[in-house]
Amino acid sequence: MSYPYQIRTFEDYQKAYQKSVENPEEFWAEIAAHFTWHKKWDRVLEWDFKGPGAPIVKWFINGKLNITENCLDRHLPFRGQQPAIIWEPNDPEEHYRVLTYQQLYDKVCQFAQVLKNNGVKKGDRVCIYMGMIPELPIAMLACARIGAIHSVVFGGFSAQSIADRINDAQCSVVITCDGAFRGNKDVPLKSIVDDALVQCPTVKRVIVYTRTRTPVSMIKGRDVWWEDELKIVETQGNPKCPAEVMDAEDPLYILYTSGSTGKPKGVLHTTAGYMIYTNYTFVNVFNYQPGEIYFCTADIGWVTGHSYILYGPLSAGATTLMFEGIPTWPDAGRFWDIVGKHRVNILYTAPTAIRSLMAHGLDFVKNKKLDTLRVLGSVGEPINEEAWQWFYEHIGKKRCPIVDTWWQTETGGIMISPIATVTPMRPSYATLPLPGVQPAVMDEKGQEIPTTEATGNLCIKFPWPGMFRTTWGDHERCRKTYFDPYPGYYFTGDGCIREKDGYYRITGRVDDVLNVSGHRIGTAEIENAINMHSDVVESAVVGFPHPIKGQGIYAFVICTHLDDPELTRKDILETVSRVIGPIAKPDKIQFVKNLPKTRSGKIMRRILRKIAEGEMENFGDTTSLLDPSVVEEIKQGRLAMS
């Protein structure tokens, strides 16, 4: 498979972009023509961001297809024997697994039959709570095969978080494992599911795959083993499970946002537009070439895993590598060992991982075989300049372009990003919008800023195929959250700076932009400056009410070592002063051991804001925190300061 729509030069990009704005329907229809359809669409697009019932977004109206035929069946004649998924286990001593497209196809059909045997029908919601093993994508694709809507819950969430998500989506089936290996831990997934299900009356069936051989309690009439169910399918003669013919706008999945700014939202993605958008962005942003090994380190429990471990790569016939474990086990060289072992060409990871590996030092990078790497990518939060440089120099050896990809669960795919080998890079800039993406920067009065040079809130003013359609069960919340703030626009919640040449720099969440004595400063910018100090590992900056400045700057800082806190404090102030200016100097610096992070590695700033304000309670929904004890530690530190 070659990709006729792959962008190869900057001129190609400019042409594609221009066409996507001038004639979006023709632009996307030409790309859609390269996929497998049961019936072609009647019209390409219908949309309304503003009227009653908004948002209304429909792509490829009345088109009929199944996404798994595009991810599997259509590749069989040409690349049935090519690896679709390479799976690297948690324990490097355990043998890795390779599933060819043919094998993956067979397994998906088999498990789709298992779902049917267990009463799952088109439109039913299926919760998937598993570790990073090949059976997780198999379960997802099996759902899509028969038209069931999957709702994957990251295998690190607590029973309460699972219950909330199951109840919100009214799932009838849960697919899980006995347990999951993560570093030196065994996470007892089934037992956590059991705790959750006490509160979930809609769940009629639990299908359990054996991974860790952790003892589990199987409830008669409700719980069945994956392996036993497969045997039943074998006795049925392994019928080929035909793909359910889906409408272009039929739901594909629900996925809850990571919850760093509030209660997680059940983001709904549909079939055709999502497929085409993830495919298009995968092929272009990473400049994927047939046969290359592509490794995305995200967990499939996050949108990055959905779009760029699974649907984007498989729809493009790529080889996608998935990793069960964590970056620091058995040691902080694990990612680089995997790159060497599997001859990885493209590596897509997150700033939080890069920073944590940076802090372990270069010994773990030394002597690793990184010569196959060709393209590097980053996602999840702004990548600070220090981390960017480290990644560029020590991992990419100054040969590999880095694509800093800005996007969200809601956008379904990458929105603003360099195109590898095409777009000139600039550290800490997501650079330019991809074809089909029409950003708008809004001023304080809610108006779109007409000049290219602009600072404000980032909106998108035209639909793109991969965008979400609603928040599950609550269209009103969707409208209020994303479309009411700026009528006629999708509001991202992020702030940005657009330079004279059109380059975008994402400055973080809008509520993370501070107004210090009338100057608007993004917290990310201040963090960037703090992180440049050689002893600093990571920092988080929030505002607090200040009698004179309006807002003061409060910095939580993690250092590698802290011999003389007073001196380090002064050094940090000096650094910030030099990098941004005295205006950005933090009023308070609190040294901490850890920051409160979500399970996807993002800092929950709303908690830090409360603590900075001196408020020690009412932190809101904190169920997505990785380690709640961190909050207690920081509270104590705060109390000791004042």
- Positions of E strands within 168-318: 173-177, 180-182, 185-187, 205-209, 223-225, 246-247, 251-256, 266-270, 293-296
Residue 443 in tokens: 């001023």
Asked if residues 418 and 425 have their Cβ atoms less than 8 Å apart, the reply is yes
State in angstroms the smallest separation of the CB of 387 from ligand ATP.
12
Interface segment toward ligand ATP; rule CB under 6 A; list 227-235, 251-259, 306-314, 614-622? 251-259
Nearer to ligand ATP, 188 or 259 (CB): 259
What is the helix (H) or strand (E) element at residue 590, kind and residue range?
strand 588-591
Sole binder of ligand ATP in the list 63, 259, 418, 543 (CB under 6 A): 259
Which single residue is written with the structure tokens 């995305």? Answer: 296
Nearer to Mg ion, 257 or 470 (CB): 257
Asked if residues 349 and 377 have their Cβ atoms less than 8 Å apart, the reply is yes
Nearer to ligand ATP, 349 or 409 (CB): 409
- Residue 275 binds which entry of Mg ion, ligand ATP, none, CB below 5-8 Å type-dependent: none
Nearer to ligand ATP, 258 or 352 (CB): 258
Interface segment toward ligand ATP; rule CB under 6 A; list 94-102, 229-237, 256-264, 387-395? 256-264
Q: Rounded to an integer, what is the distance from CA 254 to the centroid of its chain?
A: 14
Amino acid making up residue 334: R
State how far the Cα of 44 lies from the Cα of 24, in Å rounded to an integer: 9
State in angstroms the smallest separation of the CB of 604 from ligand ATP.
9
Q: How many CA atoms lie within 13 A of 208 on its CB side?
A: 25
Of 411-440, binders to ligand ATP (CB under 6 A) are 430
Within 8 A by CB and 6+ apart from 557, the residues are 530, 536, 538, 539, 572, 589, 590, 591, 592
Sole binder of ligand ATP in the list 90, 257, 271, 590 (CB under 6 A): 257
Sole binder of ligand ATP in the list 585, 597, 602, 609 (CB under 6 A): 602
- Residue 379 binds which entry of ligand ATP, Mg ion, none, CB below 5-8 Å type-dependent: ligand ATP
Of 300-329, binders to ligand ATP (CB under 6 A) are 303
Asked if residues 316 and 282 have their Cβ atoms less than 8 Å apart, the reply is yes
State in angstroms the smallest separation of the CB of 262 from Mg ion.
9
Positions that interact with Mg ion (CB under 5 A):
257
- Residue 406 binds which entry of Mg ion, ligand ATP, none, CB below 5-8 Å type-dependent: ligand ATP
- Residue 382 binds which entry of Mg ion, ligand ATP, none, CB below 5-8 Å type-dependent: ligand ATP
DSSP H stretches of helix in 223-376: 226-235, 272-285, 303-305, 312-315, 334-342, 351-359
596 lines the binding site for ligand ATP (CB under 6 A)? no
Residue 333 in tokens: 């060289």
Amino acid making up residue 146: I
Do strands 402-404 and 375-378 pair parallel, antiparallel, or not at all (unpaired)? parallel
Nearer to ligand ATP, 313 or 380 (CB): 380
- Residue 405 binds which entry of Mg ion, ligand ATP, none, CB below 5-8 Å type-dependent: ligand ATP
264 lines the binding site for ligand ATP (CB under 6 A)? yes
Do strands 402-404 and 536-546 pair parallel, antiparallel, or not at all (unpaired)? unpaired
Asked if residues 315 and 275 have their Cβ atoms less than 8 Å apart, the reply is yes
Task: Return phi, psi of residue 400, to 5°.
Answer: -100, 130
Sole binder of ligand ATP in the list 131, 333, 382, 436 (CB under 6 A): 382
Residue 346, strand partner residues: 294, 375
- Residue 342 binds which entry of Mg ion, ligand ATP, none, CB below 5-8 Å type-dependent: none
Nearer to ligand ATP, 247 or 410 (CB): 410
State in angstroms the smallest separation of the CB of 443 from Mg ion.
22
Nearer to Mg ion, 391 or 472 (CB): 472
Q: For 243, which DSSP code?
A: P
State how far the Cα of 308 lies from the Cα of 299, in Å rounded to an integer: 10
Sole binder of ligand ATP in the list 405, 431, 551, 568 (CB under 6 A): 405
409 lines the binding site for ligand ATP (CB under 6 A)? yes
384 lines the binding site for ligand ATP (CB under 6 A)? no
Sole binder of ligand ATP in the list 494, 525, 527, 538 (CB under 6 A): 494
Q: In which region does residue 550 sit, left (phi positive, over 0), alpha (psi from -120 to 50) or beta (all else)?
A: left
Interface segment toward ligand ATP; rule CB under 6 A; list 40-48, 171-179, 405-413, 589-597? 405-413
Q: What are the Cα distances from residue 427, in Å, to 182, 239, 389, 403, 468?
A: 32, 52, 8, 10, 29
Sole binder of ligand ATP in the list 151, 176, 258, 423 (CB under 6 A): 258
Size of the site for ligand ATP (CB under 6 A): 26
Nearer to ligand ATP, 138 or 631 (CB): 631
State how far the Cα of 530 lies from the Cα of 532, in Å rounded to an integer: 5
- Residues in contact with ligand ATP by CB under 6 A are 257-262, 264, 303, 379-382, 404-409, 430, 492-494, 506, 509, 600, 602
